[in-house]
Chain A
Amino acid sequence: MHRDWIIAMLAVVVIGCWAGTLGAWKMREPTQSLHYLSLPTTLGAIFLAVAVLLETGWTSTTAKTFVICLVLIGTNSVGTHATARAIRVRQLGHWEPRKEDGVEFIPSKKEK
């Protein structure tokens, strides 16, 4: 039973990693590919940490794996933001939203 849960967790980790890889590889634009980095980071890291907890119990290894999970989530967020901005600046010369770039400006509640 316990082993079944670990297998299930690891299966989700593998699925998350493969979905992220396939998505990043298949997308046409780099900004689209960046979205798929979140799949191994969220699904992969979180379920991996839970799997390690089930395998080893409450040990320093589990604590460090949870820290790895948090670090991956945090650093992926920062890295994705920086990379997306760099790509936009490289393509357009600026990152600010401008109507002529085809940015959709969502009206505020007052304007609605």
Chain B
Amino acid sequence: MTQSKSKRTKLLVLDLAVFCVVAGSWLLFTAHVSPHELALGFGSAVLATWIDSLAWRRMRVRFLATLHEVLSVWRLPWYVVSGCWEMFVILARELAGKKAGSFFRATPFHRTSGIEGISQTILATGYTTVAPNFIVIGVYREHLLFHQLEKSSVPKMIRELETKG
């Protein structure tokens, strides 16, 4: 009973935070505080908060990543730069007549069960796919499947996001 009460409180706090972010974003982007714009903006914020709360409560949307996992994105700029260079080289070779490769590779990816594991998968997929020359297809039974045009080393981001041990 106490647990469900604390869970309800957490969800309410989340709803309030979402409303503040959405309403704040409206104010920032419109940069107007006329009555009709405020009415429309807060009405839209209420609608967005309601739909978001439905997603969290009914549709079982879950995301619970640690700050360390979210901040593992710091490696991404290097992978973007090196990936862009690889793409240019592969394109130049393709135009010169040497066909580009196509490699499906699976690397071990250990994740916890439950919401934390889902969050790890989301971040690993999202961050790795941003980098050129990496497209993550999915995570299946402790293996992360990705596609590359040219084989390269597995990004350290994936190692940082998986469960240690």
Contacts and interface: CB of A to CB of B under 8 A. Distances in A.
Interface string A63-100: 11000000001101110110011001000000111000
Contacts of B31: 60
Between B29, B141, B149, the greatest number of chain A beta carbons within 10 A of the residue's beta carbon is seen for: B149
B87 A38 contact: yes
Contact of B129 (A81, A103, A107): A81
Contacts of A102: 104
Contacts of A105: 105-106, 143
Contacts, number: 111
A43 interface: yes
Contacts of A96: 138, 140-141, 145
Nearest to A79: B129
Contacts of B94: 23, 26-27
B24 interface: no
Contacts of B100: 27, 32
A88 B135 CA distance: 12
A14 interface: no
A23 B95 CA distance: 9
A39 B88 CA distance: 9
Interface in B76-128: 80, 83-84, 87-88, 90-91, 94-95, 99-100, 102-108, 125-127
Give the size category of A's interface with B.
35 or more
Nearest to A110: B108
- Could you tell me the dominant secondary structure of chain A's interface residues? helix
Given A38-B130, A97-B143, A106-B154, A81 B135 contact: yes
Given A29-B102, A104-B105, A81 B125 contact: yes
Interface of B: 28-29, 31, 80, 83-84, 87-88, 90-91, 94-95, 99-100, 102-108, 125-127, 129-133, 135-138, 140-141, 143, 145, 147, 149, 154
Given A35-B147, A42-B130, A74-B126, 17 more contacts: A23-B87, A26-B94, A28-B99, A35-B135, A39-B87, A42-B80, A42-B84, A64-B29, A73-B130, A78-B129, A85-B138, A96-B141, A97-B145, A102-B104, A103-B104, A105-B143, A106-B106
